[in-house]
Homo-oligomer: A and B are copies of this chain.
Amino acid sequence: MKLSMHALSVEVFVNALGNLSWILEKGAASAQQRKFDPAVLLAARLAPDMFTLTRQVQIACDISKSATARLAGQEPPRFEDNETTIEQLVARIGRTVDYLKSVPASAFEGSEARDIKLPAGERTFEFKGLAFLQRWALPNVFFHITTAYNILRHNGVDLGKRDFLHAGRDA
């Protein structure tokens, strides 16, 4: 249990993505129990110009893998955005976790000082690896996972923060 860039990126993302799968599965169970198509949840959003649940999950996966790849100096795998069911989203999360776990911890050594350029529309943000993790990667991954949780919760899925943290599983 050692402090490292790997521990504060891959390990955090793997844990958070596992919790995302867990809350999605609770969403699927809730739809079945309340007798509606789970696709209703996948198309739900909190505001007309926010992303749907499906897109929140896809982006949470993409940011986890692209941030990991940038810190480790790799190219991330590309996934097609073609999921139409909760099972498929859970599978995408699984593929993301498989990729994250495939990157050796040694690849993150010194990554706190790595120069990272992040194209964002017309401009490019430049970070050192540590600031990239602090101010871009961590907030961004949790943003999309929390928003997925909030969409489910707003649609009546019986979730609590224990599910988001999933502390009962692995604390």
Contact = CB atoms under 8 A, between A and B. Distances in A.
A46 B153 contact: yes
A36 interface: no
Nearest to A153: B47
A134 B11 contact: yes
A123 to B, nearest CB: 9
Interface on chain A toward B: helix, strand, loop, or mixed SS?
A: helix
Interface residues of A, number: 46
Contacts of A40: none
A164 B136 CA distance: 10
Interface string A1-33: 111110110011001100100000000000000
Contacts of A136: 165, 167, 171
A112 interface: yes
Contacts of A101: none
Contacts of A34: none
B1 A131 contact: yes
